[in-house]
Amino acid sequence: MDTTIHNVIVDTLQLHTLNTKLSQLQDSILKKNYSPEISIWVPVIAAIIGGSLVWIGQFFERHTKRKVETKNRLEEIYAYCQKLEAIMRNNYRELAMAKNHVEYWWYCYNSDRSAPRDYEEHLKSQSYAREIERRIGDTKAEYIGHVYKFQIIRPIQMDIQKELNIIADLTNARANIFEKSLAYDTVRYELTDLYEKELRERYFQNLEPFKKINALLAEAIISFK
């Protein structure tokens, strides 16, 4: 059973039990103390007890509703942070490809097999790499902002500012250069895939602080009461 639904059921049962006990107390007071001499106080006592029941019921209802809404909000932020981590992973995958292409086309342009389109492809790859890096910067800023939102609602005891600082300072490594002396077939059929894979794995290491923070957010939601 979902934890939120379970908590709502428990709170409802507790409220029902409290209301029952207070009603029994009201009946007991009226039965034990009723007499012609104090009959004038019966409506007053009944009104006080009745008002208290209403106030307590409303308090528990508002408290339960507020807890449910808060947890739902935390879960929404956490889910979005998970999404941003996935977006970052895809951005890094694309960036590794783009930066590798930058070096590949530059190698082709300076090789014996140089063709006019090689330099154009080199420039296109540079432009695409810059666009992806801009997206990475925007995603990092958005992620940090959502973590701060989470902490405003549910402060995390462990210090995650260090991880946020690491994310803010992340840089994108350059791709390996294809030396001019290398044979074209070696570059085209062996090194391009190898270099791209190596660069992609280096970029994926940048995801570690995202994973650590998201794990802390998940723990904070589980422990929320």
Mean pLDDT of 152-162: 86
Among all chains, which residue has been given the structure tokens 């995801």?
A: 207
Residue 194 has pLDDT above 80, yes or no: yes
DSSP state of 205: G
Q: Is 161 exposed, middle or buried (0-12, 13-18, 19+ CB in 10 A)?
A: exposed
With b for 16 or more beta-carbon neighbours within 10 A and e for fewer, the 56-81 pattern comes to eeeebeeebeebeeebeebeebbeeb
- Residue 156: count other Cβ atoms within 10 Å of its Cβ: 14
pLDDT for 15? 47
Residue, of 213 and 54, whose pLDDT is higher? 213
Angstrom distance (rounded) from CA 141 to CA 52: 49
Look at residue 69 in the predicted model and tell me its pLDDT: 87
Residue 54 confidence class, pLDDT cut points 50, 70, 90: low
Q: What is the pLDDT of residue 116?
A: 87
Report the percentage of the chain scoring pLDDT > 90.
61
pLDDT of 119-148, one tens digit each? Answer: 999 999 999 999 999 999 999 999 999 999
45 pLDDT above the threshold of 70: no
Would the pLDDT of 13 be above 60? no
- Comparing C-alpha atoms, which of 216, 94, 91, 199 is closest to residue 159? 216
Predicted local confidence at residue 224, as pLDDT:
81
Interval 88-95 mean pLDDT: 98
Q: Which of 114, 85, 116, 120 is nearest to 101 (CA)?
A: 120
Residue 101, pLDDT > 60, answer yes
Q: Alpha-carbon distance 100 to 128, whole Å?
A: 11
What confidence score (pLDDT) does residue 8 get?
43
pLDDT category at 49 given cuts 50, 70, 90 is: low
Of 73, 83, 124, the residue nearest 102 (C-alpha): 124
Residue 73 has pLDDT above 80, yes or no: yes
What's the rounded Cα separation, in Å, for the pair 20 and 14? 10
Q: What is the pLDDT of residue 156?
A: 85
> Which structure tokens are listed for 210?
């995202």
Task: Kindly tell me if the per-residue pLDDT of 193 is higher than 50.
Answer: yes
- Over residues 57-71, the pLDDT tens digits come to 555 556 566 788 889
